[in-house]
Structure 1
């Protein structure tokens, strides 16, 4: 639901008086300053956003469906990262300048950077006014369900310093020390995943796990030894060896699935599992994305096709537009792969705010942690009601209670995830009825 009071206040701030126009002028000046000091040639990507923002904040007052305009037509959820990337580039180029030049102009550069950051925050606040919030039915769950007693492995990449800050911010939950295998890169992707999980299940315990590509199997094998872990959030691709699924990784994943739910993003290739363009990209006449992780599709196909009877706890997330009327433009969809259809859920994630980046993020990687958070709440219900956990019964509940979308299984798998319906199903099915 929209925050009506916030929307009114922001409309007053954005739409009244000349101070807003003066702010836009100062943002443009700040961009010019950064370009000059960093000696950044050519056109910048932020000035057109300032110009568009001036137009959009006036036009939106007369639109019947402002949410669709903000997220599907104007794609404003992508602006924050564009602005962040521009400032990062300018900062890098400024650091290459003569040391005396840097010292003399450091204050100017910092002031300009701060001004551009204020524009980014202004845009994000504007976006939040029209954001529908998470739409997976968690508002229908009892408020006492919070993920307490549930341990979640997040297999991803992280910024360790940011994990430390998250521990302070998410004081109700627990984020363990980072477990690393090999020499993984340090990126904030996994931090954002944790943000989403703990926004849904704030008292859950998080185990962040990172690995380089040569140690995937070892990482998954380690997860299988942690009996307290009941959910694994996996935004990374499956492990490949000689063009096929890595056998060590495959064996380890099978062992994990015996007792845990694996919540995996299906992908962001804009295709189906066979590499055909998704319907939304065909409709918009968009070319293939050329994703670096397209190889993951054949690995998913190989694993599901070979282990369909024993992989019922492997659940995939498909990224939908926030309206849920279509898939996201980048989403990987099941296509005709019935095995993947049966284990996939449509989840709106084409613009989810995360605390770690202070931006809106989009992709199936941000759909999967919504599924993970829902699973944590349902396991919390099991633990409170029965004193024990049956993850496969939760997987069964989720599959049995999807809401039917308008796009069909080729695009949204089993259907749209709904936590409330799954919880009601669990209440009506005794835990002893679960197939071991």
Structure 2
């Protein structure tokens, strides 16, 4: 049964300044997903609260996904957030441990970027050790990205089956088929689009807040052996498309105002549509931690990213591509300049492994500085590796 507002421990990162959105079900209504808001170790039933208070937004909050709320636009996002703060004293809370969390939004399109200079440089040195520069010539002129597979985005807690496919080691004469032997993680940050934009209507840097609803953590699982064999000349495909895990909680952009930070200094002049010299600070100070089987392996700093989320959105639409409610794009691997700030095993082990083993559990968490010394939490993203399934007939 729902209960009244719980008391939170001092410093809880999921207090009234955070209030991320998710979708949940309860044991007594397993077929009725509805929108909830995280408050400490509890979930506020936003649908029930809105109905009891006669909110004009009750229909949006009773939906089985966030998409209707996403499509409603920023003035509605702000109005709903203000209403939720007023509902915190009511009897609408379920213990987080007693609910089932769902994928919070229906994903339209998915794009993954490659926005960390440190990550791109490290990968360049591993894959192209004889090249004069670790970065490709275009890297500092545009945010590089690729279109991913929206249908294999899964909510945190979903098991990840070891993928199978073609791989060819440098010493092999022909490719072989089988389970990936070099399964990796990629600690990333994702951005959820709310307000759409029609075709041939590029989204400028200054319109970022009008279109992007919120932020979540991402683990873009990567089969490095499959990826290495297939990616020339068209880039990532089966080495990436088997699973991308996202948090069950979407943190509103407005909750991260105190964490906005200038992007790193640009070393190359940018074309006008990407030039953010006079724009609001486009970086976000997110403190990420990556654990494998509860052991801390890395602390990647999102504030070190070269390309901002606003620049990525501007580039994604500059050619006339439309923007749809539920579009989702990720930052690419987050890495910093220090050895303990690398966001994937490829970098952490310089390509030598060890890689993920069956049964390994990977958990990514993060927080951001909030107002008056508070912390704003991002919902964790976690996943466990399970063994590859039997190959398809004829494989």
- Asked whether the two chains share a fold, i.e. TM above 0.5, the reply is no
TM-score by length of 2: 0.24
Question: What is the TM-score when the length of structure 1 is the normalising length?
Answer: 0.22
The structure in which a higher percent of residues are helix is 1
- Higher RCO structure, 1 or 2 (CA under 8 Å, sep 6+): 2
**Larger Rg: 1 or 2?**
1
Structure number with higher strand proportion:
2
